[in-house]
Amino acid sequence: MQLLQRKRILLGITGGIAAYKACELCRRLRDLEAEVQVVMTPAATRFITPLTLQALSGRPVRTDLLDPAAEAAMGHIELARWADLIMVAPASADFLARLAAGTADDLLTTACLATDAPIAVAPAMNQAMWRSPATRRNCATLAVDGVLLWGPGSGSQACGDEGPGRMLEPQELLQRIQALLGTPPILAGRSVVITAGPTREPLDPVRYLSNHSSGKQGFALAAAAAEAGAEVTLITGPVELTTPPGVTRVDVTTARDMLAAAESVCSGQVDIFIAVAAVADFRPASAAEQKIKKAAGQQGLELSLVENPDIVATIARRQPRPFMVAFAAETENLEANARSKLERKQVDLVVANDVSRSDIGFGSDDNVVTLVSREGSETLPSMPKTALARLLMERIGRHAKATEMPATKRHAKP
């Protein structure tokens, strides 16, 4: 993941069915901490509303060339100077023609003519329009002028045709923007191990002790770590989630399985270990070979439990020691309990969340966490777990960089 902090992106949206994809692109840019100013052509407002983009960007959407509310009514100059990048997605055939001709008849084309910032366009149109000689000439002119042509892709189209002309997906556009403007990935060259999901401790062949962990936060962190350039191994308990791209997955069931997998992976080079899994603290002293039956008149059942191994503390004692991040699921005294865990398990960072709340945490798509380190604490606002994962990886990368030696020295043999 390459952050786009303080990068100013003018997101131009023109008329076309692909305009709905601009909403996702805008949201993802904001997740990466970019400043986004949306400019819509009149045709674009027929497909999606300015109010939607205002909510996603956090700024009023600009549509008028001569806006009396703009600075000195010179909004196009103001925007042209402000932008670090003008990204037009989707870019219709009409817009490409007007831009190639140097026409300045709306706010978006005028800002493009007045800017010194790079301009990137993501064409989106019917396959016949894309193949037409006029569009090909216009694109050739734009390429000579230094405009970046990103796409189009190929596939099924809203009109029922098949072929080139689809706007590139927001994720691919985001990656290209990051490559153009972003800082180097914060975890490039680092190896990261993440545990996720619940563990299951068998009571008999059909029953087990477990918890409500869905694995969503751990999987989101694995995806974010891979985006941030890391080599990621994800050790997961039983969950029904898709493995994120670029992530090596190891499936386990019990706490002892998870510890064995963690020790095996950590026998090689590991720079960061993130323990997100909700590991059972205790397991049945023995698992029955056959299903436990309820006897006639039986009023209760006593279980004998023994302590499970402490995965976090075990890995924290290893040499060389990775940068250790532990998660703490708490129902009370959130920060105090997290700080106690930080000291007891000798980890570098604890990410604590309140699982007593029904709107966040276990099973939810959103979360609120507090980061606790020896230097202090920071509470992050409520947000989707995917967005939180990206922000957490940035924070973890920053803490790790400040505390650990370069990987080549940390893993060098004495």
Q: Which residues are catalytic?
A: 159
Report phi then psi at 209, rounded to 5. -100, 130
Residue 253 CA to residue 268 CA, distance in Å, equals: 23
- Structure-token pair, residue 32: 């990466």
3-state secondary structure of 288: coil
Q: Quick one: tokens of 278?
A: 């909700």
Residues linked to residue 305 through DSSP beta bridges, in sequence order: 284
Tell me the C-alpha distance between 262 and 257, whole Å: 9
Q: Under a CB-based contact definition with an 8 Å cutoff, are residues 372 and 335 in contact?
A: yes
- How many other C-beta atoms are found inside a 10 Å radius of the C-beta of residue 211? 16
- What's the Cα-to-Cα distance from 318 to each of 153, 337, 401, rounded to whole Å? 48, 24, 19
Nearest-angstrom CA–CA distance, 174 and 150: 11
Q: Specify the amino acid at residue 203.
A: L
Helices (H), 146-190: 170-181
Q: Is the dihedral of CA 397, 403, 406, 411 positive or negative?
A: negative
Residue 33 region by backbone torsions, left for phi larger than 0, else alpha for psi between -120 and 50, else beta: left
Determine the Cα–Cα distance for residues 11 and 283; give it in Å rounded to an integer: 54
CB 87 within 8 A of CB 80: no
- Please report the sign of the dihedral spanned by the C-alpha atoms of residue 359, residue 363, residue 367, residue 373: positive
AA identity, residue 189? G
Q: Could you tell me which residues are beta bridge partners of residue 148?
A: 120
DSSP string spanning 334-398? HHHHHHHHHHHTT-SEEEEEETT-TTSSTT-SEE--EEEETTEEEEPPPEEHHHHHHHHHHHHHH
